[in-house]
Amino acid sequence: MFERRRCLTAFIIILIGVLIISVCTGVYLNTMSDHNSPELPFLSDSDAINYVESSKLMVLISNKEENIFRKIQDTYGLNATCVSDEDVSKRIADVQAACTRDQHVVAISVGNFESSDPPDMQPYTQIARDQNYIVSVVNGPENLLPDYIGWHLNEADSCMLGLCAHALLEDLLKTVPEFCSDFRNYSQGETIPEMLKFYQLADSNHNGMLHCTAKYFGSSPDESSKEYFREVKGNITMNFETTVIGIVFTPRTFGARLKLSQEQLKLWGGDDDGKAKMKTVLKNEIARSNEDDRVSSLNSAMAHHSIQCDSNNLATTDSKLPMKKKSARYFPNSQASLVYLTTKSEEDPDFHPVSGRGSRAHMTLGIAPGESAVTTGYDLLEVVKLEEEEKDWPTYPTTRGWLRDYGENRWVLYMKNKITVETLFAGVYSVS
């Protein structure tokens, strides 16, 4: 009797043991398969897929994840090129060729990130930068963080928004004499075409590609940055509609001001409290910043944009520009999603369009010579602070909105009609 009970107890213990082992194995296998097939928006979300099919995305994949190649091919068919040549220089040549063809998706098996000799991403990120590709790293190691992460416009939309913003600037220069005279003074431009050339592209806006930074990591991210990245990682390659509500003009920067959606605010990791930052600290930050303070030459795409805004000047100035870049009207595999309604809006002006979290959200459109793209955010924060002071700032109604003079050469356009544009959430990896 006693024997039988012991037997039964032993049996039950073994049974429980087996159960625990099998449950654990199940969980383990589950996490393994999760790891092997992460939910990647550009492979699982139909909106994201549609957007990628009107944009250009480069995907860097670890060797271990080659099953993703099959999924990419299943999803994008002839719109995707998968490159996995063993020979690195052959691989780079294949990537170059696929990007030159403006292939929508260029997926590359780059090597094993966790090996003793991790892959050099630089040749690929350099091609992506030159060819206006948005980059995503699939299943990179924990410690591989981008320089910064945010919402990126494709090349057609970047061009369109650049054109819109320059057209608005031109319109304001022509219709608001007070603005024109202040702008003339600080831009040192005599004519409107000269003034339109004052702002240049920041290095981070190479070829006129525009983005809104959600969080900047730099080269030595702290623990909280790593934690943030773990949380938002699953959103990479997801598309987000982004809304431009205004434009800020200062002697330093030219920025589009955004109102983030609820979904975007969840991903927002920017520092909205610029008050602690003194201008001197800022200067040091600029010196250290990877968001480079060098500017592209006047032959930049944006200079091209502003010249296009002024059609009278197109023929003469265009021929002087040795344009390597494709013309603005020619983006073979990139479609614009930008919407800027021009119907009359009867809305009253809102001079406090954003406050608190996300109030720093912006896209740098241009910078003055010698300035840095990071300054755009600080210029915007200054404006947000001034908006809180209920003063009678000189305000000029115009066809497209209300232009307000905040003194010290700071001007803000509050747009009547907002611009909406699709963007892709992705990181930017150092090219140097």
Ligand X SMILES: *[C@@H]1O[C@H](CO)[C@@H](O)[C@H](O)[C@H]1NC(C)=O
Query: Interface residues with ligand X (CB under 6 A)?
Result: 53, 76-79, 182, 185, 231-232, 234-235, 266-267
Q: Identify residue 52 by its one-letter amino acid code.
A: V
What are the distances in angstroms from CA 4 to CA 7, 11, 15? 5, 10, 16
Q: Whole-number minimum distance, CB 266 to ligand X, in Å? A: 4
Q: Which is nearer to ligand X, 305 or 410 (CB)?
A: 410
Q: How far is the CB of 71 from ligand X (least distance, A)?
A: 13
Write the DSSP symbol of residue 347. Answer: P
Instruction: Report the alpha-carbon distance of residue 397 to residue 375 in Å, rounded.
Output: 27
- Of the pair 186, 340, the CB lying nearest ligand X is at 186
User: Which residue type sits at 117?
Assistant: D
| Closer residue to ligand X in complex, CB, 167/172 | 172
Query: Phi then psi for 319, rounded to 5 degrees?
Result: -65, -20
- CA dist., res. 247 & res. 41, Å (int): 31
* Closest approach of ligand X to the CB of residue 232, in Å: 5
Number of CB atoms found within 10 A of residue 61's CB = 25
CA-based diameter of the chain, in Å?
A: 108
Minimum Å gap between C-beta 317 and ligand X is 27
Minimum Å gap between C-beta 45 and ligand X is 9
Please, which residue, 231 or 318, has the CB nearer to ligand X? 231
Shortest distance, position 97 Cβ to ligand X, whole Å: 18
Which residue, 62 or 154, is less far from ligand X as judged by CB?
154
**Phi, psi for residue 421 in degrees, rounded to 5:** -155, 140
Q: Smallest distance from the beta carbon of 233 to ligand X, in angstroms?
A: 7
Cβ closest to ligand X, residue 91 vs residue 410: 410
Q: Is the CB of residue 340 less than 8 Å from the CB of residue 419? A: yes
Query: CB 30 → ligand X: shortest distance, Å?
Result: 17
Distance CA 225, CA 203 (A): 24
- Which residue lies nearer to ligand X by CB, 80 or 201? 80
Comparing C-alpha atoms, which of 231, 254, 416 is closest to residue 341?
A: 416
d(CA 123, CA 129): 10
* Residue closer to ligand X, measured from CB, 227 or 273: 227
CB 57 → ligand X: shortest distance, Å?
12
**Coil, strand or helix at 295:** strand
Name, in order, each residue with C-beta under 8 angstroms of 119's C-beta and a sequence gap of 6 or more.
110, 111, 112, 113
User: Who's near 308: CB < 8 A, 6+ residues apart?
Assistant: 163, 314, 328
Which residue is closest to ligand X by CB? 234
Q: Between residues 131 and 204, which has the closer beta carbon with respect to ligand X?
A: 131
Q: Of the two residues 271 and 318, which places its CB atom closer to ligand X in the complex? A: 271
Least distance from ligand X to the Cβ atom of residue 343, Å: 29
> b/e for 337-367, b at 16 or more Cβ within 10 A?
bbebeeeeeeeeeeeebbeeebbbbbbbbbb
